């Protein structure tokens, strides 16, 4: 049987027939229809308060980025009707999580006393093996604790909700995405019961790259690059403390394993909220990754809009990728080599067991036969192309090997890729 291949017709995103019909019907409704509810910060905050019965959002520094984001979405994103409704629901859900997190802290003072000691933090450009490495490490259960997808989507339970019900909600979200964009799983596999990026926790402060990865919001993206990221990282740490208070591994000798390319821009923020983090930086030739992550962006934006411009994505994310590695190289000189472990993609693919062993020993966890057996088992399930073959090219995004190599020249020399 021939494996499914992802579409490269980025300007015409996949759209199930029923969704096309809904978009057409909702778009034709009068001004008083369901799309008339403006993406307004105060209105969305009021809705979250009604939904939860709570009032305290905690640090109110999120209001400005939320307002900038909503204005950018309204003026620039060109969402279709379903995309508008999903985006509105997601923002209200994020605001509700902020309210529930503040309630948890108010009722349980011990949460604040939790420590985030010597976490393993995987960073690297998208498509450099970060997801594969993250999932391998997460299989060392009991000693390594990964953020689960259902926790990232709902880090604080609704009243009377337990872990099972949160997992069911995450599975429904996974199924919905698979229906809306089946190709996306071949690009970036998502598992409701598997590890997920903590970028969703950073998004609680509305200061993350999630919006620009899923929508065309250049005003917000530009604004984000120039503002203080401390509120986002403090919020991430608060959510992680709440999660480990609820579900910490047995024993004292364990580590969080975290992962998101977002951190490359903001490595200096990690030691401010994490105790002695071990930063694992994955490296791969930029010509092998830029086309891939541009394709990922295009497929992601196609979920929410009928207007996806591959050439604009190529220009924007070439600049973004260069900014990420340039800032990370600058920060690395301040952090020191003792706190950073480099992993080349080719080494990870050739001998993943040795890479995981080196990371765990560097983190102070040691190594034994039981751990080795768990990681070997994970290597049999984390297979490439299990959801289909990801097809992409630099040329589809107006780029070439020469353009990419020139942009990433300093990084290529420093990383040896």
Structural domain spans, the chain? 118-415
Sheet holding 340-344, edge to edge: 144-146, 255-259, 120-123, 278-283, 340-344
| pTM of the entire predicted model | 0.92
Report how far residue 369's alpha carbon sits from residue 362's, in angstroms, rounded to the nearest whole number: 17
Q: Lowest-pLDDT range, 139-153, 226-240, 391-405?
A: 139-153
Which one-letter DSSP state was computed for residue 62?
G
Q: What is the dihedral of CA 360, 365, 371, 376, to 10 degrees?
A: 0
Q: Residue 102 half-sphere exposure, CB side, CA atoms within 13 Å?
A: 16
Contact 238, 100 (CB under 8 A): no
The pLDDT tens digits of the residues spanning 202-228 come to: 999 999 999 999 999 999 999 999 999
- pLDDT tens digits for 244-299? 998 766 666 788 999 999 999 999 999 999 999 999 999 999 999 999 999 999 99
Q: Give how far the C-alpha of residue 412 lies from the chain's centroid of Cα atoms, to the nearest Å.
A: 25
User: DSSP secondary structure string, 131-154?
Assistant: HHHHHHHHTSTTTEEEPBHHHHH-
- Sequential DSSP letters for 257-311: EEE-GGGGGGGGGHHHHSBS-EEEEEE--HHHHHHHHHHHHHHHHTTTBS---HH
Token pair, residue 230, equals 């401390």
Given a cut of 70, is residue 63 above it in pLDDT?
yes
Half-sphere exposure of 399 (CA within 13 A, CB side): 31
Q: How far apart are CA 95 and CA 208, in angstroms?
A: 15
CATH fold, domain 118-415, is Rossmann fold (3.40.50)
């Amino acid at each position: 049987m021939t494996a499914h291949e992802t579409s490269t017709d980025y300007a015409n995103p996949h759209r199930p027939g029923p969704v096309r019909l809904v978009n057409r019907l909702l778009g034709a409704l009068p001004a008083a229809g369901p799309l008339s509810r403006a993406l307004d910060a105060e209105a969305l905050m009021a809705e979250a308060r009604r939904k939860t019965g709570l009032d305290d959002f905690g640090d109110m520094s999120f209001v400005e980025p939320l307002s900038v984001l909503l204005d950018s979405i309204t003026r620039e994103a060109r969402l279709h009707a379903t995309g508008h409704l999903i985006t509105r629901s997601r923002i209200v859900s994020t605001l509700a999580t902020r309210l529930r997190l503040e309630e948890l802290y108010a009722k349980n003072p011990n949460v604040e006393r939790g420590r985030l000691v010597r976490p393993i933090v995987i960073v690297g450009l998208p498509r450099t093996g970060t997801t594969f490495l993250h999932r391998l490490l997460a299989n060392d259960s009991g000693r390594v604790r990964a953020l689960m997808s259902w926790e990232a989507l709902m880090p604080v339970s609704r009243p009377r909700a337990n872990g099972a019900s949160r997992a069911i909600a995450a599975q429904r979200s996974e199924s919905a995405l698979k229906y809306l964009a089946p190709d996306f799983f071949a690009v970036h596999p998502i598992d409701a019961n598997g590890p997920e990026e903590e970028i969703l926790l950073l998004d609680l402060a509305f200061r993350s790259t999630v919006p620009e990865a899923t929508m065309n919001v250049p005003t917000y993206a530009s604004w984000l690059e120039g503002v203080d990221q401390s509120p986002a990282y403090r919020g991430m740490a608060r959510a992680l403390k709440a999660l480990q208070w609820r579900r910490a591994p047995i024993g004292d000798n364990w580590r969080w394993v975290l992962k998101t390319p977002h951190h490359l821009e903001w490595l200096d923020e990690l030691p401010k909220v994490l105790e002695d983090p071990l930063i694992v930086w994955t490296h791969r030739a930029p010509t092998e990754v830029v086309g891939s992550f541009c394709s990922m962006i295009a497929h992601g934006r196609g979920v929410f809009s009928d207007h996806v411009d591959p050439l604009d994505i190529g220009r924007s994310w070439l600049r973004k990728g260069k900014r990420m590695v340039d800032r990370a190289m600058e920060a690395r000189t301040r952090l020191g080599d003792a706190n950073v472990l480099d992993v080349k993609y080719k080494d990870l693919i050739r001998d993943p067991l040795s890479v995981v062993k080196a990371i765990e020993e560097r983190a102070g966890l040691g190594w034994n036969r039981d751990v080795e057996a768990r990681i070997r088992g994970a290597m049999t399930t984390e297979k490439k192309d299990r959801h289909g073959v990801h097809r992409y090219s630099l040329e589809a995004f107006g780029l070439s090997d020469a353009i990419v190599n020139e942009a990433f020249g300093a990084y290529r020399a420093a990383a040896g890729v």
